[in-house]
Structure 1
Amino acid sequence: MAEENELKRYAIFNRSSRKVVLSGTETAEEAKEAEKQEITVPLPPTFKDIHEQRVHMKQRLAAGFRLLAKFGWDEGVAGHATCRDPEYPDLFWVNAFGQHFGTIKASDLILVDHEGNIVRGNRLVNKAAFVIHGAVHDARPDVVCAVHTHSMYGKTFSTLGRPLLPISQDACAFYDDHSVYDKFGGVVFDAEEGERLVSSLGPKNKAIILQNHGLLTTGETIDAAFWWFVSMERCCQSQLLAEAAAINGYHDLRVIPDEIARGTWKNVGTARSGYAQFQPMLEIIIKEQPDCLL
């Protein structure tokens, strides 16, 4: 009920009491049946068992990789996304080292523990993926999925060493909900660097800008984590364009006032919003590349 009430913020799903017959397309009886149809609400699914949930999550993760590839956000062997296993929360699924995002299927994912050992799968795992994501999943039990790639505008914006400004409705999704890690120490190979990164992410933020590196987003669902990455990358692009177009750079930008930005976040920045926003992209990538579910 709480989720349905939240949906009422931005979607109409109450059935009208008005009785009409659409001439030429339905009879009076068909009109009565149409009025009885239940209006579906896009909520996260529930599962009969752990196996069903695990299959669903791995398929979502694989579809997310395909989407990243569609946008051109792959960069050699860099970039990774993980999801926490629903049965064993101290284990997480991750992409294999060196596999192109555009070829990843659900069955290709590797299961690893927080000590960096492979539990299921027979391919290598990017060590930076383990260090970064292992630290995030260990420190933040609320994080089901984390996404990081070296996308063009994210890594470009990261060189500024500052957070996104609330200059658009979309950017308000990250208002007071992301941080900047301002210490680049090279490729993230040691546990201490992972711990510093997680400390910078904080206990509640959903995203972090890694200075001189790129973006990392998290979510309570796989859907939300991938949507936040897509949205944050585009917000970085938007702000870079706005600053380039302004005579005095970011000093000329019309920043949304704090109170309004905070109120807008309640509509576009919640976990529920992130889940809903991802559904159209998920639908099209699965339709275009159904083999990702295998």
Structure 2
Amino acid sequence: MAPVAIDSSALPPVDTVAAAHPLKAANRFKQSLNGLSDKPLQRTYRGNKEGTIHLEGIPEFDDLYAKRQWVKEHLAAAFQYWGKLGYGEGLSGHITVRDPVWPDHYWMNPIAVHFSSITVSKLCLVTPEGHVHPDGAQLPINTAGFHIHSAIHKARPELQAAAHCHSLYGKAWSVFGKPIDILTQDACLFYDNQAVYKNFGGIVLAPEEGKNIAETLGPKNKVAILQNHGLLTTGMTVGEAVYYFSALDRLCKVQLLAEAACANGLEKKVIDDEDASFTAATLQNPENVYVNWKPEYELLVEERGHIWMK
């Protein structure tokens, strides 16, 4: 039988169909975690029949010094990635990660060094009091970075890494003092997982301001939008914190584009709580977020070798 051309303009809009058949709309298929693996990473991939093909997640270490080296290499690579994305903004921007050997110390980038030139040997080890330790690079660090990150590491001892810089779209959306809407599948990373710090008190040069930011983050959120300032993200690994950051910056761009379209008469469709919660249960798992960072790390290795590991 020959195909028949259909005039789509003659068809009623989808919303009209749903309104005419409310039972069909109400019975729309909803996914559930029932019957799925209790390991979120395993939900995301399929291997061979024999079960010998796996997607590798966060590595485990028996040797804390080996873990320290791994942590530092990923931290340096994260700055290379930020440089690649054009996040550099003068003296601003910092990522910290707890030292596996001395958990009350953390590694951090020096101030006034471009992200793209950060290597392992340029990373500073910072003491709990905020001083540069002799075991790392002997370079000055960012004062605001110390106040913000030290407060977060104290308030949330389970978090291993924190990231903040003045990315373009994060800054632009921050002026509204609002969380992003859950508009896309990727945005479910931030469902019930974002705070907004609504007070801009100037450049952070006092410990009280860092403490206020940490308190705003709360006991469970991984990210915060700092009004009139930018984005702050955290994680159990450098990779998790850095992926959260780049994903949130991109979604700030999506939000800005969506708001512009709304101003011209289009209507936003926000993902409902049930679907967002279901999706977030997989996307927000720390290992899954880390694995989202792995392709960027591995691409850097292919493109640049191991220049940041020295």
| Corresponding position of 2:188 | 172
| Aligned: 1:264 with 2:279 | yes
Q: Output one character per residue of 1:122-143: Cα deviation in whole Å (capped at 9) or x when no partner.
A: 1101101100111111111111
Q: Distance between the aligned counterparts of 1:212 and 1:48, measured in 2? A: 43
SS in 1 for 2:221: coil
Q: Displacement, 1:252? A: 2.4
Q: Please, which of 283, 297, 300 is the counterpart of residue 282 of structure 1?
A: 297
- Match for residue 211 of structure 2? 195
Deviation of 1:182 (Å) = 0.4
In structure 2, how many angstroms separate the alpha carbons of the residues matched to 1:84 and 1:5?
26
Amino acid at match of 1:142: E
Superposed displacement of residue 203, structure 1: 0.8
Structure 1 residue identity aligned to 2:44: Y
In the TM superposition, structure 1's runs of 4+ consecutive aligned residues that sit over 4 Å from their partners are: none
- 1:5 equivalent in structure 2: 39
Task: Give distance in 2, aligned partners of 1:152 and 1:102.
Answer: 17
Gap change, CA 1:98 and 1:158, over 3 Å in 2:
same
Name the Cα RMSD after superposition.
1.7
Question: 1-side partners of 2:263 and 2:112: how far apart?
Answer: 43
Distance apart, 1:181 and its partner CA: 0.1
* Structure 1 residue corresponding to 2:267, chosen from 252, 263, 270: 252
Q: 1:3, 1:272 within 8 Å by CA — same for their partners in 2?
A: no
TM-score for both structures, normalised by structure 1: 0.89
> What is residue 117 of structure 1 aligned with on the other side?
131
* 1:89 Cα deviation after fit: 1.0
Q: CA deviation at 1:16?
A: 2.1
More displaced 10-residue stretch of structure 1: 227-236 or 280-289: 280-289
- The DSSP-based 3-state class of the residue aligned with 1:7 is helix
Instruction: Determine if contact 1:227/1:275 at 8 Å carries over to the other structure.
Output: yes
Contact 1:286/1:292, CA 8 A, preserved across alignment: no
Structure 2: state its 5+ residue gaps: 1-35
Q: Within 2, Cα distance between the matches of 1:44 and 1:268?
A: 15
Shift of 1:263: 1.1
1:72 aligns with 86
For the 8 Å contact 2:177–2:198, the answer to whether it is kept is yes
Q: Secondary structure at the match of 2:162?
A: strand
Partner of 1:182: 198
Distance 1:216 1:130 in 2: 14
Computing the radius of gyration from Cα coordinates, the structure with the larger value is: 2
Cα distance in structure 1, aligned partners of 2:210 and 2:167: 20
Alpha-carbon shift at residue 40 of structure 1 (Å) = 3.5
Question: How far apart in 2 are the matches of 1:119 and 1:240?
Answer: 42
Q: SS of 2:89's equivalent?
A: coil
Alpha carbons of structure 1 residues 103 and 111: separation in structure 2 relative to 1, 3 Å = same
Residue 157 in structure 1 maps to residue 173 in structure 2: yes
How many Å apart are 1:228 and its aligned residue? 0.4
Question: Matched residues in 2 for 1:3 and 1:278: separation?
Answer: 22
Matched, 1:43 2:76: no
Aligned residue pairs: how many? Answer: 272
Q: TM-score, normalised by structure 2?
A: 0.84
Aligned residues of 1:82 and 1:146 also touching (Cα < 8 A):
yes
| Matching of residues 59-138 of structure 1 within 5 Å | 59-120=73-134, 121-138=137-154
**Structure 2 counterpart of 1:291, which letter?**
I
